[in-house]
Structure 1
Amino acid sequence: MNKWYQKAMIYQIYPKSFKDSNNDGIGDINGITESLDYVQQLGTNTLWLNPIFVSPQIDNGYDVSNYFAIDPLLGTMDDFQKLVEAIHKRKMHLVLDLPINDTSDQHPWFQDAIKNKDSIFRDYYIWSENQGNRPNNWGSFFGGSVWEPDPNGGSQYYCHIFDKKMPDLNWKNPEVRKSMADIAKFWIDKGVDGFRLDAFIHIAKANFGQNILNQKEKFPVDSSFYANLPEVKLYLKDFIKLVKGYKDDVFFLGEASSADAYQAAEYTRPERFGCDMVVTSDNYGEMYPMTDSKIPMFFQPRQLSIKRLKETFSVWEAVLEKISLPALTWGNHDISRVLDRLHIDSQDNDLPKALAVCMYLQRGIPIIYYGEEIGMRNLKYKKLRDFHDQRALDLIDFMQSKGYSDEEILTLLNQQDEMTARGPFQWSADKFVGFSNHHPWNWATHNDAAADEAVKNDGSLFAFYRAVLKIKTQPLFSEGQYLLLKTDAKIYAFERELNGKKAFVIVNFDHKTVKYRVPTVKVVHTLLSNKASSLVDNVVTMEQSGSIVIEEK
């Protein structure tokens, strides 16, 4: 392991919601700089920031109108340079979120493309060929058609698989790939160490003449036509090769939300200039116990399935073993917080610790979503009109049309909508949780988690996360091989091995006390435990949600 990112422990920060330094209700870059001691105290060594570029904020910064400047809401380039300097002074690294599938319709490329049909930037975007009609019935992830009429008139339509104000880039055009590489190089020169490639699996599209064969909807969504197509790897290779040729240790974390383990392997082959790691939304071990066919899958109520978690990671770890490292995470800004999403009781202080041990000590790179380490939960909005994101608005319209009550819809949104996970970081029990002296941009009822108390309490979730991440720094846990062990259904156990030395991680997800015999004849000792008794003849007794990490002497 000779690249810095192979031992990364990533802390994801949603900049607008982390720390407000100028009391305007919006988190900013200076707030992050002021908070680096906390991030380092936790034990993470890499920051991933959601987009900080100039944006109209139609999609909370993922609609970029200027890739070469900081959004004034968040600060200045001088503020950013101070942040980079402070991060590197602590021997930490910085990863920026880079939207590459699309731009804002306010971006100069698109503005020039619609003003002048002979512009070189016209071919930076995707236009329909058949005059006066949409070429197909493809539906956008944000509702409606993926095709929108040229704003300046004429008979052509442009493609957008997300919001209509976010036109898709034409990655078939080599100049697009080169321009995106130039953007990455600009930020590398500013000191950035890596990039999360947002929505990269969508940069190739299928034959526009093929309709989606779904007659139930006017504009059906089927990502088979605009996700994970073979050309994605070709375009990605050209882009990453250009950037890695400029600086070879730049880290690329690809967002492959719908990819399986085999697709992840293809996206991360180093000899093909792929991503260094991909993160997917399919690794949370979720099941849908009460599926309602009227509700979109994203909003279906879910719960933790140990069986599915085992099936998932046994495959991912096996498939990626000689290729790349899996991403180890319980969530991000695009999904509700894990404690609410999986319906974990607010009085259960042990299950969150079990989840941390279970996930982050596997083979791979931990990614911790801000606030998870202190037990933050979803914001709880009081009224439907408090929701403004497009996915929530579409769900409200749809469910109301199906006769669901506002109370039912509100309950579902407060459990599952992504905006509930983007609340202010809870620094304290003060009026606005220590985030700001001004009413925050995203605000609703919240739980009583507070970082200032958590860092002082040796029994807190924060202290436990810190202990887990300290163990993760050991070569056995950062470099060792992984083997999921055969156990009872409700026990999650795996072995890590390096140069003949082994460690065992055992977690009890059962509702009763269980015993487990550690599969070794050697003497062992405990590195970390919670609700687990001392070992007797290599047999450990664990209460409900108990966990233990054991190493051979």
Structure 2
Amino acid sequence: MGEWYEKAVIYQIYPKSFKDSNNDGVGDLPGITEKLDYVQQLGANTIWLNPIFVSPQIDNGYDVSNYFAIDPILGNIDDFQQMVTEIHKRNMYLILDLPINDTSDQHPWFQDAVKNKESIFRDYYIWGENNGKRPNNWGSFFGGSMWEPDPNGGSQYYCHLFDKKMPDLNWENPEVRKSMADIANFWIDKGVDGFRLDAFIHIAKANFEQNILNQDEKFPIDSSLYANLPNVKTNLQNFIKLVKNDHPDAFFLGEASSADAYQAAEYTRPDQPGCDMVVTSDNYGEIYPTKDPQIPKFFQPRQLDAEKLKDTFSVWEAVLKNISLPALTWGNHDISRVLDRLNISEDNLDMPKALAVVMYLQRGIPIIYYGEEIGMRNLKYKKLKDFHDQRALDLIQLLQNLDYPDEEILQLLNQQDEMTARGPFQWQVGKYVGFSNHHPWNWADHNAVTAESSIADSEGLLAFYQAVLKIKKLPLFSEGSYVLLDTERDVYAYKRELDGIKGFVVVNLGDKSVTYHIPTIKIIHTILSNKANSLVDNVVTMDAGGSIVLTEK
């Protein structure tokens, strides 16, 4: 323990959507550099960038064709070095998104593997066949089969869990692990402090002879055959060991979307080389109140449930104690923005503050998705044809075949599709919200909040986020122990303790006023409150959406 990242406050930036410095409609590295002071003043000390490497952009940069160069749409290596210099000048850190499960089919490794079956790079990828047919019926996450014929002919097929233009790497090959370690070391030598390992839970697959026993679909999906298998940990450890031998301070944040707390513990054990922390997609405390069996879970309407959130973090805290820190986040680029996803009314100005308090002051590392701190919401597209991501296209086809009205499909997409969360950062009032003078690459209707107006509002959400993150940096809330307290259904309360001093966080996530007795006999000092909460004889009364942070004097 005692590593730099244990006190990290991570701010996730989607580079194409943060700030456009050259007015081509696409955000870039100089734009990020220009706005570093804003990020620092928020209270973040670590920046995570989605992929910035050369890419055909089939999957918004996750399909890498050159790991050693910056994609020209984002800038060049000089822009990168200037950005790193300015980040470190502010005593901040930089994490890069590193796609490790697959590459682009335009990557030189795959190009050589296809041209020459005797190439050493042939075994960098996963090939198979079954008497000249696909090896099995496994489905791709992007639809259809996960097996595509060799582009150069023959009887073999290559594996792709995602788009067919993103062939999976063969992590059983030690040369793949060494090559990926070389890439990580290259960027660390240029000043990078760590990596988010995209889709690492898929770097091992089951026996290809095993079909998925599902007769209802031609190419069904079953993650048990290609997610969180035992060899994932082995391959991961071999890779990270190669990096940490030279760079022991490098931070590895693993994206383990479907991992539970026990799997997360195995990936982050401090006595073994592995991830320092993992982030999952299942820690948002969501329930599905009006579940429609014909709609995929990803697009189901959701709402926040305090009991679900309590159950989640009580388990994660119990399992990860003395092992690693939980990731504290309300979302990222792969899911819609939290206020829309959880169906929180635009008139409710207290709940966004309550969400910040309840999540980020727990034991763990906050990860804040750009724009969340000013209350940005999803883009709202006007027509179904405005959606181009594969998941949205699949939903449109599915529900139109089931005779769902287009208006209902559009509403679902605008509430839940990930592309709605990747809109331009809203810097100021204007035609393109201060992001660019050119029509942005991803553009639709949006809410009216801006950073400029938020900075001027001392009682607003941005100021409240700054206060929360200032508290997070106190040793009591960054290092102290954590105990989730027993409360009524809609009250979320926990105790932090360090060196005999206790802190209490109490949040009312319901829609009615509540009272709660603080379990302490010492005098209490209020250090943050988002409403006119009353505190009498250790009893706090809070309106709906109220939150309060207290410490013993």
- Fold shared by both chains (TM-score > 0.5): yes
- 2:267 & 2:402 partners in 1: Cα distance? 40
Give the 5 Å matches for 1:54-73.
54-73=54-73
- In the alignment, which residue of structure 2 is the partner of 1:37? 37
Deviation at 1:15, TM superposition (A): 0.1
3-state SS, counterpart of residue 91 of structure 2: coil
Matched, 1:296 2:288: no
In structure 2, relative to structure 1, the CA distance for the partners of 1:113 and 1:131 (3 Å cut) is farther
- In the alignment, which residue of structure 2 is the partner of 1:439? 439
Give the 5 Å matches for 1:90-169.
90-169=90-169
3-state SS, counterpart of residue 316 of structure 2: helix
Give the 5 Å matches for 1:153-552.
153-552=153-552
Deviation at 1:104, TM superposition (A): 0.1
- 2:539 & 2:210 partners in 1: Cα distance? 60
Deviation at 1:404, TM superposition (A): 0.8
- 2:377 & 2:550 partners in 1: Cα distance? 30
The amino acid of 1:363's aligned partner reads R
- CA offsets 1:256-309 (integer angstroms, 9 cap, x no match): 000000000001012111100000000000001111111111111111011100
Deviation at 1:129, TM superposition (A): 4.0
The amino acid of 1:92's aligned partner reads M
The amino acid of 2:344's aligned partner reads I
Deviation at 1:390, TM superposition (A): 0.7
The amino acid of 1:99's aligned partner reads P
Verify the 8 A CA contact 2:491 2:509 in the aligned structure 1. Answer: yes
The amino acid of 1:295's aligned partner reads I
- CA offsets 1:202-256 (integer angstroms, 9 cap, x no match): 0000000000011000000111100000000000000000101111010000000
The amino acid of 2:40's aligned partner reads Q
- Which runs of 5 or more residues in structure 2 are unaligned? none
Matched, 1:15 2:15: yes
The amino acid of 1:247's aligned partner reads H
- CA offsets 1:377-414 (integer angstroms, 9 cap, x no match): 00000001100111111111111111111111111000
TM-score normalized by the length of structure 1: 0.99
Deviation at 1:455, TM superposition (A): 1.0
- 2:320 & 2:455 partners in 1: Cα distance? 36
- 2:503 & 2:430 partners in 1: Cα distance? 42
Verify the 8 A CA contact 2:533 2:546 in the aligned structure 1. Answer: no
- 1:478 & 1:368 partners in 2: Cα distance? 16
Deviation at 1:130, TM superposition (A): 2.9
3-state SS, counterpart of residue 123 of structure 2: helix
- 2:433 & 2:389 partners in 1: Cα distance? 23
Verify the 8 A CA contact 1:532 1:541 in the aligned structure 2. Answer: no
- 2:41 & 2:96 partners in 1: Cα distance? 21
- CA offsets 1:470-508 (integer angstroms, 9 cap, x no match): 000001100111000000111000000111111000001
Verify the 8 A CA contact 1:532 1:548 in the aligned structure 2. Answer: no
- 2:532 & 2:131 partners in 1: Cα distance? 69
Verify the 8 A CA contact 2:283 2:309 in the aligned structure 1. Answer: yes
The amino acid of 1:515's aligned partner reads T
- In the alignment, which residue of structure 2 is the partner of 1:78? 78
- 2:162 & 2:515 partners in 1: Cα distance? 50
Deviation at 1:454, TM superposition (A): 0.4
The amino acid of 2:141's aligned partner reads F
3-state SS, counterpart of residue 515 of structure 2: strand
- 1:518 & 1:296 partners in 2: Cα distance? 42
- CA offsets 1:14-73 (integer angstroms, 9 cap, x no match): 000000000000000000000000000000000000000000000000000000000000
Verify the 8 A CA contact 1:255 1:280 in the aligned structure 2. Answer: yes
Verify the 8 A CA contact 1:370 1:425 in the aligned structure 2. Answer: yes
3-state SS, counterpart of residue 318 of structure 2: helix
Verify the 8 A CA contact 2:286 2:304 in the aligned structure 1. Answer: yes
Deviation at 1:532, TM superposition (A): 4.0
- In the alignment, which residue of structure 2 is the partner of 1:50? 50
In structure 2, relative to structure 1, the CA distance for the partners of 1:56 and 1:22 (3 Å cut) is same
- Identity between Structure 1 and Structure 2 (%): 77
- 2:20 & 2:233 partners in 1: Cα distance? 39
3-state SS, counterpart of residue 545 of structure 2: strand
Deviation at 1:158, TM superposition (A): 0.2
- 2:433 & 2:301 partners in 1: Cα distance? 29
- 1:286 & 1:184 partners in 2: Cα distance? 35
The amino acid of 2:199's aligned partner reads A
Deviation at 1:131, TM superposition (A): 3.9
The amino acid of 2:211's aligned partner reads N
Verify the 8 A CA contact 2:129 2:155 in the aligned structure 1. Answer: no
Verify the 8 A CA contact 1:532 1:540 in the aligned structure 2. Answer: no
- CA offsets 1:166-203 (integer angstroms, 9 cap, x no match): 00000000000000000000000110000000000000
- In the alignment, which residue of structure 1 is the partner of 2:28? 28
3-state SS, counterpart of residue 362 of structure 2: coil
Deviation at 1:332, TM superposition (A): 0.1
- 1:42 & 1:336 partners in 2: Cα distance? 22
- 1:272 & 1:233 partners in 2: Cα distance? 10
3-state SS, counterpart of residue 536 of structure 2: coil
Deviation at 1:537, TM superposition (A): 1.0
- 2:538 & 2:275 partners in 1: Cα distance? 41
3-state SS, counterpart of residue 271 of structure 1: coil
List 4+ stretches of structure 1 deviating above 3 A: none
The amino acid of 1:456's aligned partner reads A
The amino acid of 1:210's aligned partner reads Q
User: What is the aligned-residue RMSD (CA, Å)?
Assistant: 0.7
- 2:488 & 2:292 partners in 1: Cα distance? 31
Deviation at 1:323, TM superposition (A): 0.1
Verify the 8 A CA contact 1:131 1:156 in the aligned structure 2. Answer: no
Verify the 8 A CA contact 2:254 2:275 in the aligned structure 1. Answer: yes
- 2:295 & 2:511 partners in 1: Cα distance? 30
- 2:238 & 2:282 partners in 1: Cα distance? 27
Verify the 8 A CA contact 1:531 1:544 in the aligned structure 2. Answer: no
Deviation at 1:456, TM superposition (A): 1.5
Verify the 8 A CA contact 2:534 2:542 in the aligned structure 1. Answer: no
Deviation at 1:2, TM superposition (A): 1.8
- CA offsets 1:420-469 (integer angstroms, 9 cap, x no match): 00000000111100000000000000000100110111111000000000
Number of matched pairs: 553
